[in-house]
Amino acid sequence: MTEVEVSGIRKIYDNGLEALRDVNLAFPKGQLSTLLGPSGCGKTTLLKIIAGLIPRSAGEVLVKGKPVDGPGPERAFVFQDFALLPWADVLRNVAFGLELRGVPRPEREQVARRFIAEVGLKGFESRHPNQLSGGMRQRVGLARALTVDADIILMDEPFSSVDEQTRRKFQEDLLVLLRQHQKTVIFVTHSIEEAAYLSDQIALLSPRPGTVSKIVRPEVDRSKSPDEIRRDRNYLDTVDEIWGILRQYV
């Protein structure tokens, strides 16, 4: 079942730059789909159009079969730069989406504490963003997205600012959380290995103006351990296949 669909999406900025041209994609319910391609190909632009954060020049975005033209409660965005409130502690940052919806404080804080624990930050509820590492701030952003209980989570290179060890742990934790909560995730990354490890489907975008050059579906058995997955033949073949396509753009 398709949860999000984009048809004929085009984006031309005011300066005349054409970022996207005739993008057509379907994002299956309960799966993680990745947008992957060279820098400047329009990955983040497409993600923000789906989120309703920026307007499209042409085309249509359908969420659950209905056209959308702006943000909605069924979509939550995890920003690359965390986008946390610097003056608020972790508890309030995580509960902020529910606060905006008018959820009473005791209820929203109860929900926020649950997801703070789920992302591994229990005990840090009273810390402020400047007291956290980059990895911890990104966990706050993920917890905030889970707290509002959106069906669709849009993630813009969420692990790009952390070291490789932390990044791998985040990848493993994200797959566990997705199995638990059955969310539909649209994920932007520059990393071929990350895309192959996480994704049910990978949309490869061409250089600007971005178009869909190929859809790759890794046949990876994610019931295996993280180390086994990264040694799995299908995982390694997927990495090689994607690099074989993208290297022509470098």
Question: pLDDT (tens digit, 9 = 90+) per residue, 53-82?
Answer: 999 999 999 999 999 989 988 998 888 776
Question: pLDDT (tens digit, 9 = 90+) per residue, 167-192?
Answer: 888 888 888 888 788 889 999 999 99
Task: Kindly report whether the global pTM for this prediction surpasses the value 0.75.
Answer: yes
What pLDDT, on the 0 to 100 scale, is given for residue 119? 87
**pLDDT, average across residues 148-176:** 85
Percent of the chain whose pLDDT exceeds 90: 62
Domain ranges of the chain: 1-74+152-168+183-250, 83-149
- Distance separating alpha carbons of residues 96 and 195, to the nearest angstrom: 30
Classified by CATH at the fold level, domain 1-74+152-168+183-250 comes out as: Rossmann fold (3.40.50)
- Distance separating alpha carbons of residues 102 and 134, to the nearest angstrom: 29
Pairing assessment for the beta strands 66-67 and 58-63 based on DSSP bridges: antiparallel
